[in-house]
Structures are given as structure tokens and as C-alpha cells.
Amino acid sequence: MPIYTALDGTEIYYKDWGTGRPVILSHGWPLSSDSWEAQQLFLASNGYRVIAHDRRGHGRSTQSWDGNDMNTYADDLAGLIEYLDLQQITLIGFSTGGGEVSRYVGRRGTSRIAQIVLVSAVPPFMLKTDDNPGGVPIEVFDGIRAGSLADRSQTYRDLADGPFFGNNRPGQDPSQGMRDAFWRQGLQAGARNAYESIAAFSATDFREDLDTFDVPTLVIHGDDDQVVPFEVGGKASAERIKGAELKVYAGAPHGITDTHKTKLNDDLLAFLESYAAP
């Protein structure tokens, strides 16, 4: 199994498919790199080297007791990039992975980065606070935490069967297999890791990280996202990142890597092909 070992001994599993200019895919909560398989297979089949890792505590990576925070996630990503000695990378982050990508740029800069894509991503700042009045109330995240402790398996079922894929909306019909895959990946994550990651994705302020973006950036978000509301996520990020391009998927839910995979794949490939090496 391909493994990168972080400085604290945590083993980070990754998939490395295809050849060409590198693309890195950072997954959402409480998922794993498996959630990216449609995009990874498509982009690798179209001439790119596509790498997707399991965040610490998730998937096949070590269920480390500590380090379940955005700074450590970003440092793990940096370590993997340096271990593989990648250059001219397109970084793509979905949901929590968008936070990981943003914090990486805030801490490490863009010397190795050619492009960035945020998909249904949690930046700039999800939590409602005095200086972020449009954010999501903490009671929402406290409810997810309470559910995770009371019945983690059912909590993941409820997310998959409801807001994540938009199954609670008229006209939406995500397959049972799609919803089961979310549940399976969620239970593969460590209980403490997934629990602490709720604070990492909801209460981390990425606004200053986004201010450091200085490479072409594409923001993709569904306007019926019930997990990371469009106004809180994609719209706010695109307004904050200098020169960012925003693509809005009308009526789309949070989990567009599955529900809108053909459209997303085409948009990602078009953005990748727009890059001209210096």
C-alpha cells in the first residue's frame, strides 16, 4: 500500500494513478479518498497524475489520537507533496478538503502550486460569530457532535439519506449505493478523529488563508447545498479570492462529486487544460 509517514509517525495512505502534471484531491468529512474515485479515474484517464490521500484518522490512514485539526491536516498534505516531490500541482479540495487545501496555501504558499479548485468547500468560515453573522449557528455542529456520540452509524445514515445528496428535496434521487458508500466510508474513520474533525471544518477561520491565494482558482458550489450553504461557502470564497472564477450548479446539493460527477469532471478537465506552464 502506498504510504507516506508523517513526522509524528502517522501513516497517510494515498492512491497515485496515471502520469502527467500532478493533481491532488483532498476529500470531505467523514470520508476517504474513495469519495473521489470518479474524478480520479476520469482525470488520470485524460493525461494527469492524480493523487488522492486518506486524511489522518480517515480511511486507511492511521487513527492518530492527536492532530485532528486543520494545521496538522495541512502539514500532512505538505509532507506528502514534498515526499513525492511534486511541482505545478492543481490542488482540489472538496468540503473539509477545501479547508485543508486553503490552510496548506496559507502556511506553505504556492511555490509548488499551479491551480486551486474549491468544490462545495467549507472556507472562508462556516461558524456564525460576531464578525461572521451569516455563518451557521454552533447548535448545528453541536447536534452533529451529539449524534456522533449517541449513534454514529445512524448519524451518517441520516446525512447520506438526507441533506448530503439532497435526497430530502423533490426531484433528487441519489442511489442507495451512493448513500451506502458515504456510510461505509464514514464508519471507516476513527471515532475520535471524525468527532474532532467537526470542529476543524466548522470553527476554523480560513479568511486570511484565502487572502494569500495568488494562482488561478476555480470555485464550484451547488446553490442548494444544505451542508455548506452557498452564501456561506462558494459565494463568499469566490468574492474573497482575487480573480477567482465561480461556477454555480443550479439546484445541486453538497455531494456533487457523485450527484453531478459528469459535469464536475468536465469542468475540472477544462480548468486543468487552461493552464499554460511558464
CA dihedral 42, 44, 49, 53 (to 10 degrees): 60
Of 95, 120, 202, 237, the catalytic one is 95
267 is an active site residue: no
Q: How many CB atoms lie within 10 A of CB 237?
A: 27
Q: In angstroms, how far is CA 164 from the centroid of its own chain?
A: 13
Active-site entry in 27, 53, 221, 254: 254
* CA separation for the pair 145, 194 (Å, rounded): 9
Of 225, 237, 258, 267, the active-site residue reads 225
Q: Is 53 a catalytic residue?
A: no
Question: Is 258 among the residues known to form the active site?
Answer: no
Query: Whole-angstrom Cα distance, residue 63 to residue 65?
Result: 6
Residues belonging to the active site = 95, 225, 254
